[in-house]
A and B are shown apart, each in its own frame.
Chain A
Amino acid sequence: MRAHYLEASGVRPVPADPRGVLAGTHYLDGDFACGEGAMAAGCRFVAGYPITPSTEIVERIGRRFPFVGGIFIQMEDELASMAAVVGGSWTGTKCMTVTSGPGFSLMMENIGLAAMMETPVVVVDVQRAGPSTGLPTMVGQGDMMQARWGSHGDYGVIALSPRSPQEAFDLTIDAFNLAELYRVPVLMMMDECVGHMTEKVVIPPADQIEIVPRRLTKQSPAEYLPYRADESLVPEMIRAGDGYRFHTTGLTHDERGYPTMTVEAQQVLVRRLVDKIQKNAHKIIRVEEDQTAGADVVVVSYGITSRVAQLGVEMARERGARVGTLRLVVCWPFPEARIRELARVVKAFVVPEINFGQMSLEVERCAAGRAITTGVPHAGGGVHDPEEICRAILEAAR
């Protein structure tokens, strides 16, 4: 069955390039699975700088790329890695960089550049516990708001959060497809647990993997304007070396891509950068719900915490609570409408996450006082005790 976001886009996908697809059943950790997902998605340029717990992704890619026709380069830092993949993407080659908290912070300026130039790229953040160097080898989920707002100014992004190695593979492919569909940086918000956990990963044959190729314009260089968008709000793209002689800049620009230092140009451009995600959010958003109908309490979670929360939910059910779950597969854009809808019928949301309250703020905002939002914070370095989540559910259900 074709994924909802692909169906909704109306774009006809193509089969994956078999060279990048290691079809079969494997026993892989989430990092390796993410690397395989990237190669299956057609990624052929990766720039990165080593950082635990993400390094295995580039190690996997570095080893396999020479057989696949891709180039991996270890850059001098994450500023360079991010800039390199933005540049690389303008050649039509699919690009990715991979990091964890400290490197993610360094990437922010050029993530903004990617958003401003409308460059499709995938950035993987295997989250560890911060702030600063924090607990380098141990889990965290503290970069969720940074993913949304980390670069200065307003722009839209897409962020995904896998809960297993299989999803690390599947969602990495989706990340590349979404980047092409919306011309935005797509952030794969993994976490150390999922990155380092080893499970069965099924990689389908290439002809069963659906890929959105670079959507190059068919207009001639004479008629084409790099930043003119139709109702989809996403302009058609070109690539360097094809004779379009285009210009692109991080400055506010007009449809030609030329710097335009006016309030009006800013309004038109930034409005569209925000709207192209906001107005298409219903096509992008993906949640997984279980037993939310008739529930008193809904547990909202993502990544590794959704697996731990499941235990807490089952414990609470055994003690008679009517509790449902909503898992964020796509974290940004946030499923505002669905949370609003649920807030009218449930008593409370319980939001466990390995931070002191990030996505729970979104839940609270959308619930707008109609239902209570209880965060279950964790400072990082480990996962929640399911008993604690169970207690929060029972408390909220009362």
Chain B
Amino acid sequence: MSPLIQLGTPEAREHPITPYIRMDRMPHIWCPTCGIGTVLKCYGTALGRSKLDLDKVSVVSGIGCTGRVAGYVKMDSFHSTHGRALPFATGLKLGRPELNVTVFSGDGDLIGIGGNHFIHAARRNMDLLVILVNNFIYGMTGGQNAPTTPLTARSSTMPLGNFERPFNLPHLAVTCGATYVARWTSMHTAQMTRTFTEALKRKGFRFIEVIAPCSTLYARLNKLGTGLDLMTYYRDNFEIRNKADTRELDLDFQSKIICGKFVDEERPTFLEAMEAHYRDALGDQYVPMPPEGGMLHGQD
């Protein structure tokens, strides 16, 4: 009998994040050694630690490998269109302000096709936790160049290496107005979980970049070895620099990866600013949207 089967009763073998995952959808579609699953695991653990009422947590994704996260979390979850997770989530938040909304999506989705929404959601300090899995590539569609592909790295559409300068995402987020900004790699499970737990309880536009190079396409195109080799690489090449100057967070091909929490500050969120403004201008005449939303009741 294999050692796995001897582990005990099914209950004893239940994975700790089972309560947060749609087990009826397993197995998932991600490749073996892909980092996205690890990020989801950390998010599930963070949800457990946060003690949030999960009935009030919603997850929104766009389209892509990372975008499949919405399909696996056991909460109200929305798999929207490519690039539009942020405005979709904005509507969800404003339609029922008591919801705690997480946007979980890829670099191409949130920064490529959805870049305009990203800068505006950050500018408005919209109350959203944004988890971006940066795999340096368009994974779902087969490894095309992304606005995050490091200079000289190969992609299927830049087979001789990328010559477009990529975004420095934490810096982009901060410049646009994000109030909580962090970066980890998929190796940093403990730190990532702690950051998620903290960020789930913060307000405003919270942006967490998780570096997890696509272990199938990016790694193969760039001869970076297996998923294990990628992990070894992170272990040997990261540096934690909390509060780092975000201008210094560019990622070059196989360069050192600077991780940590760079920004954690408070600024009125969109809803707070709006309510304060109207209360100021209109006094008692102002009727705010109720926390449970603007649904018309009364049929029953």
Number of B positions contacting A (CB below 8 A)? 55
- Decide yes or no whether B110 CB sits under 8 A from chain A: no
A247 contacts B96, C-beta separation under 8 Å: no
Cα distance A180–B260 in the bound complex, in angstroms:
47
List residues of B whose CB falls within 8 A of some A CB.
22, 24-25, 54-56, 58, 60, 63, 70-71, 74-81, 83-84, 86-92, 94-96, 98-99, 116-117, 120, 270, 274, 278, 281-282, 285-290, 292-299
- Chain A residues with CB under 8 Å of B288's CB are 69
> Which bucket holds chain A's interface residue count?
35 or more
Given contacts A17-B296, A67-B286, A213-B299, contact A88 B80 (CB under 8 A): no
Given contacts A87-B78, A214-B296, contact A44 B289 (CB under 8 A): yes
B294 contacts A70, C-beta separation under 8 Å: yes
- Decide yes or no whether A77 CB sits under 8 A from chain B: yes
List residues of A whose CB falls within 8 A of some B CB.
12, 14-15, 17, 19, 42, 44-45, 47, 66-71, 73, 75-77, 79-81, 83-95, 109-110, 113, 211, 213-215, 239-251, 258-259
Our pick among A45, A213, A248 for the contact of B78 (Cβ within 8 Å) is A248
Please list 26 pairs of residues, one from A and one from B, whose beta carbons are closer than 8 Å in the complex, sorted by A's number: A17-B296, A44-B293, A67-B282, A67-B287, A76-B116, A79-B117, A83-B88, A83-B91, A84-B91, A86-B80, A86-B88, A89-B91, A91-B295, A93-B289, A109-B81, A110-B81, A110-B84, A113-B80, A213-B298, A239-B293, A240-B96, A242-B55, A245-B75, A245-B76, A248-B79, A249-B70
A94 contacts B292, C-beta separation under 8 Å: no
Cα distance A184–B243 in the bound complex, in angstroms:
48
Among the interface residues B22, B278, B295, which one has the most CB atoms of the partner chain A within 10 A? B295
What secondary structure prevails in chain B residues at the interface with A? mixed
Among the interface residues B78, B99, B294, B297, which one has the most CB atoms of the partner chain A within 10 A? B294
A14 contacts B84, C-beta separation under 8 Å: no
Given contacts A66-B286, A79-B87, A80-B117, 7 further A-B contacts (CB under 8 A): A80-B86, A80-B90, A94-B296, A113-B80, A240-B58, A241-B58, A259-B71
The 9 closest A-B pairs by CB, nearest first: A44-B294, A87-B91, A91-B95, A88-B91, A92-B295, A84-B91, A91-B96, A249-B79, A88-B95
- Chain B residues with CB under 8 Å of A213's CB are 295-299
- Chain B residues with CB under 8 Å of A47's CB are 87, 90-91
Closest to B74 in A: A245
Cα distance A15–B81 in the bound complex, in angstroms:
35
A83 contacts B80, C-beta separation under 8 Å: yes
A241 contacts B286, C-beta separation under 8 Å: no
- Chain B residues with CB under 8 Å of A19's CB are 287
Given contacts A69-B289, A92-B295, A110-B81, contact A247 B91 (CB under 8 A): no
- Chain B residues with CB under 8 Å of A244's CB are 76
- Chain B residues with CB under 8 Å of A249's CB are 70-71, 78-79
Closest to A256 in B: B24
- Chain A residues with CB under 8 Å of B287's CB are 19, 66-69
Cα distance A223–B239 in the bound complex, in angstroms:
50
Closest to A212 in B: B299
